[in-house]
Structure 1
């Protein structure tokens, strides 16, 4: 009598193809998602005391980004705007325009490193509303990327992390 051993394995119920935890997202998709996060997160929740509305329904949860969260969400969104291209080039154009205000000779000899320092000082020392913080973060992403040096570290970390998740 012949004896056969069978090894039976179950197919995995969930598979992460090619290391893509979120499936295929792409730079444009993540730029869109981060924009939605910023817009939804900087608006005052409905029914809050600040807007004078009636109290929100019990059990309804709404989140609001803090100034710091909005700022770093803006930096991440700005980084993906540059990577996505297409419609998202507006973020880079805003960064170039802001940078041009300082580097075009009005302040003497100043480069994008100086613009990066100005933005870092504003972001660190000024407490802004979440909307202004998000806008500043978007501008900072483009300026820091063009300045290079240590200013390129946030962009490198964001894009490396996105690549590790399979988002790029």
Structure 2
């Protein structure tokens, strides 16, 4: 047996995305609490890092966001950790909104990994768990 669940990372990312979509709508048997959307999206972001090209665009969004903030001379010296901090505050400091939390949660793993230091801890711990589905 190559893994605990034989989904593969692409299949797991697709299944998690579909579960999140169905659950957020709340009109079906599956219900996702708006407070849990960032965690689902973070899971999707971690799975998509190892999935096929259709999912690898999520990390590109985080990279482009960080590059645009770093290239803005008005902000001065801007590090990837600052972008990760802003993203975390946007998710947990603002009122839960499914679209905002899903986008921020999905691009968070790539920013956390790029920031290094303490930001890598959630990504590396979750990376161990993704080995069970691939």
Q: TM-score range by the shorter chain?
A: 0.7 to 0.9
Q: Aligned residue for 2:82?
A: 114
**Aligned residues between the structures:** 133
**TM score, norm. by length of structure 2:** 0.88
Aligned residue for 1:74? Answer: 41
> What residue ranges of structure 1 are gaps of 5+ in the alignment?
1-16, 46-60
Q: In angstroms, what is the RMSD of aligned CA positions? A: 1.7
- TM-score, normalised to structure 1, is 0.72
How far residue 131 of structure 1 moved from its aligned partner, in angstroms, is 2.5
1:84 & 1:141 partners in 2: Cα distance?
Answer: 14
Bigger radius of gyration among the two: 1
Say if 2:47 and 2:130, in contact at 8 Å, map to a contact too: no
Please say if residues 67 and 129 of structure 1, whose CA atoms lie closer than 8 Å, have aligned partners that are also in contact: yes
Write 1 or 2 for the structure with the bigger share of helix: 2
How far off is 1:156 after superposition?
1.1
Contact 1:65 1:130 in 2 (8 A): no
Q: Partner of 2:54: helix, strand, or coil?
A: helix
CA distance in 1, matches of 2:19, 2:67: 29
